Structure 1
């Protein structure tokens, strides 16, 4: 389970990715993410 701060980061990243792709057709490459985002989920 993500912490509150990790959840906020995930939502912020999702919004940035969505906006970058819909406005510019650009796929972003996030950097310096906490290791929790490398775990398999779902």
Structure 2
């Protein structure tokens, strides 16, 4: 049986992984968009 602490900890870990993956995907997407538009490069 899972305890409340284990459930909260697992949700925190899963949430952190999704947050990291989301930020990483957003960074890659923005980087790719910048590569497609060289005119916006400073």
- TM class, shorter-length: 0.5 to 0.7
Gaps of 5+ in 2: 26-42
Tell which has more relative contact order, 1 or 2 (C-alpha 8 A, sep 6+).
1
Runs of 4+ aligned residues of structure 1 deviating over 6 Å after TM superposition are: none
Q: Which 5+ residue runs of structure 1 have no aligned equivalent?
A: 26-42
The number of aligned residues is 25
Give the alignment's Cα RMSD to 1 decimal: 1.0
